[in-house]
Amino acid sequence: MMIGQKEYMISDQAVIREAVIRINDFSAGQALVLFVLNSAGQVVGSLTDGDIRRGFLKGVGLDDSVQTVMNVDYHFLKKNSPIEEIKRLKSEDLKIIPLIDDDKKIIRLVNFKYIKSILPVDAVIMAGGKGVRLKPYTNDIPKPMLELDKKPIIAHNIDRLMTYGIKNFYISVNHLKEDIIRYLDNAYQGKDILIKYIEEHDPLGTIGSVRMVDGYENEDILVINSDLLTNIDFEDFYVTYKEHNDDMAVATFNIKVDVPYAVFETTDKRIDSFVEKPTYIYYSNAGIYLFKSEHVKFIPKGQKYDAIDLIKTLIDNGKKATHFPIRGYWLDIGTPENYHKAQDDIRYIRF
């Protein structure tokens, strides 16, 4: 349970007076709700200021038990709750919901003021590159640590993934790894996430290090390059991937090519038709992937292996790989020009 969330818990042996004092001490903007726990730490109800007021109207007193006014039909989520259920609860304007285990004990509280969704994935952030194209900025600073709006690129990505309820992070590091590890350990100390490091000794390509983890907790893995600036809707990405029952989904961005001349359709040398000054749209790899954790077995151990290799391997093995067009902002911060652009754009992007 996250430190600081205990203020929302109250014993089922408490009286209403204590609940009133507790709720009254909440600061402005906090959800006015308490979750009632029994002696075994199980949630047995919820209690709001409205529940207490309704109790007073029925003659309940301050020294009566909270059990007399608590709501036993409280809302909750479980780790395997469908995204549709999360959306429904958000639509009812509920502020805080307990995420409980099978024993009705709280794993953590979900605050919809800060959390957009709860995606049951393990996130792997690829942060081992040398950033050769970004020199001289990366002479002494690892590429993921370059700052945008006074915060490292990698922190922007972790923070955004956290808003989708992702808790398990694996950071694949190599070049200047000590700087990255030191920063993340300090910046996320005490936060309600788990960060582990995959330490490459030799470069393993864009996805090879994913094989170095002994076992992933969730059925699906989200892999993202650390040097991206994007406002992709990760919930939409995940839902689409699951609805299509994909083995792997690749986020893509559009490249538009305008041809300033007529383009002929031909058979041998014969012109069958033509299109005057056409525009073609191509979908390119955006460096963000979702795939089933069971497919990690296809990644060879200790060898350089790129994401495009995994896509090909899955297709060759009769698996289903699809693409997901990013409808928002996406930028690969791989060159000085794009780094300058990201420094300007970040002030205007809606995350």
What CATH number is given to the structural domain containing 259?
A: 3.90.550.10
- In a shared domain, residues 248 and 339: yes
Q: What's the average model confidence in pLDDT over 341-347?
A: 94
Query: Would residue 257 count as lying in a domain?
Result: yes
Kindly state whether residues 192 and 270 are assigned to the same domain: yes
Query: Same domain, yes or no, for 89 and 43?
Result: yes
Whether residue 1 is contained in a domain is answered as no
110 vs 132: CA distance, rounded Å? 40
pLDDT tens-digit readout, 291-335: 999 999 999 999 999 999 999 999 999 999 999 999 999 999 999
Residue 196 scores a pLDDT above 80: yes
Name residue 320's amino acid: K
Q: Are 79 and 148 part of one and the same domain?
A: no
Calpha distance 263→111 (Å, rounded)? 55
Whether 183 and 72 map to the same domain: the answer is no
185 falls within a domain:
yes
Q: Dump the DSSP string for 31-44.
A: --EEEEE-TTSBEE
Per DSSP, the three-state class of 278 is coil
Work out the pLDDT band at 2, boundaries 50, 70, 90: very low
Taking the model in full, what pTM does it have?
0.87
What are the tens digits of pLDDT across the range 25-62? 888 778 889 999 999 999 999 999 999 999 999 999 99
Q: What percent of the chain has pLDDT over 90?
A: 81
Task: Decide which of 64, 79, 111 is a domain's last residue.
Answer: 111
pLDDT at 127 over 50: yes
Same domain, 13 and 144: no
pLDDT computed for residue 4 by the predictor: 58
151 with 239, same domain: the answer is yes
Closest Cα to residue 249, out of 325, 351, 327?
325
Specify whether 99 is located in the same domain as 139: no
Within 8 A by CB and 6+ apart from 234, the residues are 117, 119, 160, 161, 164, 222
> What is the CA 91 to chain-centroid distance, rounded?
20
What's the domain count of the chain? 2
351 part of a folded domain: no
Domain span holding position 69: 6-111
pLDDT in tens, 25-34: 888 778 889 9
Nearest Cα to Cα of residue 196 among 292, 130, 141, 122: 122
Please state which of the ranges 20-34, 61-75, 201-215, 233-247 shows the lowest mean pLDDT: 20-34
Give the model confidence (pLDDT) of 65-123 as tens digits. Answer: 999 999 999 999 998 889 999 999 988 888 899 999 999 999 989 988 889 999 999 99
Whether residues 104 and 17 share a domain: the answer is yes
Nearest CA to 284 out of 258, 320, 254, 249 is that of 254
Q: For residue 3, is pLDDT > 50?
A: no
In angstroms, rounded to a whole number, what is the distance separating the alpha carbons of residues 332 and 284? Answer: 12
142 preceded by a cis bond (ω within 30 of 0): no
Q: What is the pLDDT of residue 138?
A: 86
Q: What is the pLDDT of residues 138-190, one digit of tens each?
A: 888 999 999 999 999 999 999 999 999 999 999 999 999 999 999 999 999 98
| Residue 116: inside a domain | no
Q: What is the CATH number of the domain that holds 10?
A: 3.10.580.10
The pLDDT of residue 1 = 42
Per-residue pLDDT, 139:
87
Q: Is residue 55 part of a domain?
A: yes
Same domain, 156 and 241: yes
**Residues 169 and 303 occupy one common structural domain:** yes
